Structure formats: structure tokens, C-alpha cells
Structure 1
Amino acid sequence: MQVPRARRRSASERSAAVFDALRNLLLEHPWGDVTLEAVARDAGVSRQTLYNAFGSRYGLAQAYALALADALCDLIAVTIAEHADDPRAGLEAALTLYLETSVQDPLIQRVRSGDAHHDLVRVVTTDAAPLLGRVAERFEEVVRSTWPVVPAERAQVLARTLARIAVSYVTMPPEHDEPPAALAAGLAALLAPTID
């Protein structure tokens, strides 16, 4: 009897395994101590596979940040869709979700605590253009699909503004330990008239 060969993982499955491995390593070690060899071992891929997919540790950090942004945008899209009839409530719920959820990620925790390697800080500061672009594009899709009456140029401006707000809270936590719900309510009150 022939033993069936194990199914090969798709590229997206390999990437998910790599990002899970990286996240788990970041929970225990600073970025400077995380090696591609350790990520590859824990993800069950070769080091060459990592180099082929990401190019370098910095490339891996950028890809991880984009994957995290996509995951958060998916959650935000669902939350906003649940409040399609009330833009202010939708924005408030989405911003609260973002502020409460994003801080749980080890990469964001390290950046906020000042315990981040300069590679991680660059991803969300000087080299943040790809991240901002991705988040703005995703937010614009959500705004236009949830509230199609919003003019395209307004949807774009709102999406870019939300993207910049989101990334700014990665590098700098809210002032005076303001609770996420209170901060989200204030931002939603400011931004909702764009949709109304």
C-alpha cells in the first residue's frame, strides 16, 4: 500500500505559518534576537524559503506589518458593516476595536514601549508609505461599499485620514491613558460628518 504524500502548503499558508512563528518569537524575544533561522524552524519552512519570500529580516518585518494591517482591516470592515445605518456608531465601534486589538500585537507593543529595534520603528515611521497606502486603500473600499452615497473624493480623504490616525497610534499611545472607547467616541464625532 502506498502512503499518500503530505499536501504541500500554499504560499498563503506558508506566509501565515511564518507570521505566526514570528509573532510567537516576538512575544518572548526582542526583534534584535529574532533570527530568520528561528522563524524558519518554528514555521516549518527552510531559511531559503524565507529569503525567497521576504528578502531579509526587514522585508519580513514589513510583510508582517502589512499582514497585521490586513487582519485588522478585515475586523474593522465587519464592524463598520454592522453599523451601516449609523456612520458615527460604525466609526466609533471600528476605532474602539482597532485601539483595543492592535495593542495586543507584540510588534506594536515593542514599538510603543520604546523596546523596538530601529527596523521595526522604520516600518511604521519613515518607511510607512506601503503600510499607509494599504490601510487607506482598505478603508476606502469599506467606506465606499458601506456608504455608497459618500462622494469618491470624500471617501478617499476619510480613508487616508483614518489610515494616518491608525498608524500614529502604533508609534504613540493615546495621551493620559485615555480609554479606547472614549478616544474612539471623540474621533468618530469629529469624522462622522464627512459621511453624513
Structure 2
Amino acid sequence: MPTAREALLDAALGALAHRPWSAVRMADLATTARVSRQTLYNEFGSKEGLARALVRREADAYLQGVRRLLAAPAPPERNLVVVAEWIVTRAATRPVLRALLTGAWNERLPAPRPARPGARPAAVPAQRRADEGPPAPGELVAATAACAGERWAAGCELAVRLALSHVVAPAVPLPTGPGEAGQCEEPDSWSPITPTMTRLIETILSVETTSPRKIIP
């Protein structure tokens, strides 16, 4: 059974799927999570504190997922490809994570600002950590690479950056019908990742992780 804090964060994430953050009401979240409003404010302090906690949880869950995939009993190169595929797929369905990884926040999402300088520290330890603010995209990429250990950190960072290039500019089916060439309409949907993208990641990682390093004078 989730704790009150987790239930409230789940309620906030669920509400965010249907309305912009500015329209999310604290009272509604407390009702959905079946806790009192006082419990909500005891945990997060304010709606801004809740936003910081929600963003921090997305970052933590992302890094936990990366560690789990990298620990799989498979060749490290293959695990890096799996991580890249997972990042693209997860970012496609989780707007907060996508914004964390790319820095592309919009008005529908909670503003990722740290607590005001000089503000009273939160009573809840998890909230004190959240109030420090979310990691910047570069910091999150570095933390992802660190999950792979020193031997594979560079390859992991490369895999992440290749995945993020697809997150920012996803592949869409090219027009094939008569008279469709040159159209620039927004697609109804797009594949989170394509076989071509997977092969590209595999090829680049293979070269990067097996070729001897060249020192340029």
C-alpha cells in the first residue's frame, strides 16, 4: 500500500495527464489520494513544494530504471542499447521526464524552481531534497552515465545523447502516397523508436566501445 506521500504524487501525476498544472487543485488531489488537506500540506508545504517533489520523483525513478537495465545479465554494449530504447519510449509517454531530459518545459508542466533562498527547511527529509530543485539536463545525463561505472560511462553517455536526439526530433513515417511529397503536417502519431534508430545506436556504440582511442596532438 503506498504511503500518503506516494498516493498524493500519484494523484498529481494523474491529474497532470488531463489538465495543465495551473488547473490542478490541491483539494482535488487530497480527495483522490484519500488523505486530508492538512496531510498534503504537511508533506509538501505548498503546491510549489508538491511540484518540486513530483519532478524529483520522476528523476529518481528514471535513474532507478537505468540502473536496473544496466544490471541485466547481458553484454554491456547490449544493455546500453536497451537503455537508449527505454529512454526514448519512456520519455514519449512521460512529459515531466521528457522536460527533465531536454530542458523543454512548457506551461502545462509544473515549474521546476528550487525553494526560495532563506526559506524554512521542510520537516520531511524527502521534501528537503526535493526543495533543492531538479537536476539540469546535463546533470541528469552525467548521473545516467555514472550508473554504468567508469568502464562504460562514456558509452552510456553517448547512448543517452543518441536517445535524446530522437526524443527531441522523433522519426515519423515519410509520405508515400501520390501527391503527398513535400507535405509538412503534424503527424497523428509517431513511433517512439524505429529499427533504423536501434541499428544506428548499435553501430555507433560498437565503434565507440571497441576502437582504440586516438590522441590528437
TM-score past 0.5 threshold: yes
Task: Extract unaligned runs of 5+ from structure 1.
Answer: 1-8
Asked if 1:43 corresponds to 2:56, the answer is no
What do the CA deviations read for 1:17-43 (whole angstroms, capped 9, x no partner)? Answer: 112111221222221110122112211
From the superposition, tell whether residues 108 and 71 of structure 1 become closer, same or farther in structure 2 (CA, over 3 Å).
closer
Q: How does 1:1-196 map to 2 (within 5 A)?
A: 13-82=3-72, 84-87=74-77, 89-105=78-94, 107=96, 116-117=106-107, 120=110, 122=112, 128-129=134-135, 133=139, 136-137=142-143, 139-141=145-147, 143-144=148-149, 150=151, 155=153, 172-174=168-170, 179-181=192-194, 182-187=196-201, 189-191=203-205, 195-196=209-210
How many matched pairs? 171
Q: Give how far 1:61 is off.
A: 2.1
Q: Give how far 1:119 is off.
A: 5.5
SS of 2:53's partner is helix
AA at the equivalent of 2:197: L
CA RMSD of aligned residues (A): 4.0
Q: Give how far 1:56 is off.
A: 2.8
AA at the equivalent of 2:89: E
From the superposition, tell whether residues 188 and 67 of structure 1 become closer, same or farther in structure 2 (CA, over 3 Å).
farther
From the superposition, tell whether residues 166 and 188 of structure 1 become closer, same or farther in structure 2 (CA, over 3 Å).
same
From the superposition, tell whether residues 44 and 119 of structure 1 become closer, same or farther in structure 2 (CA, over 3 Å).
same
**Aligned equivalents of 1:59, 1:173: Cα separation in 2:** 32
AA at the equivalent of 1:180: I
- Identity %, equivalent residues: 24
Is contact 1:19-1:64 (8 Å) kept? yes
What do the CA deviations read for 1:98-124 (whole angstroms, capped 9, x no partner)? Answer: 211232225468999x9942763646x
Task: Extract unaligned runs of 5+ from structure 2.
Answer: 114-132, 173-189, 211-217
**Aligned equivalents of 2:46, 2:27: Cα separation in 1:** 12
Q: Which structure has the larger Rg over C-alpha atoms?
A: 2
Higher helix share: 1
AA at the equivalent of 2:44: F
**Aligned equivalents of 1:162, 1:56: Cα separation in 2:** 37
**Aligned equivalents of 1:49, 1:93: Cα separation in 2:** 40
Return the TM-score normalized by structure 1: 0.62
Deviates more, 1:58-67 or 1:45-54: 45-54
**Aligned equivalents of 2:93, 2:16: Cα separation in 1:** 12
From the superposition, tell whether residues 71 and 63 of structure 1 become closer, same or farther in structure 2 (CA, over 3 Å).
same
From the superposition, tell whether residues 135 and 108 of structure 1 become closer, same or farther in structure 2 (CA, over 3 Å).
closer
Q: Give how far 1:91 is off.
A: 1.4
**Aligned equivalents of 2:41, 2:70: Cα separation in 1:** 37
AA at the equivalent of 2:48: Y
AA at the equivalent of 1:81: A
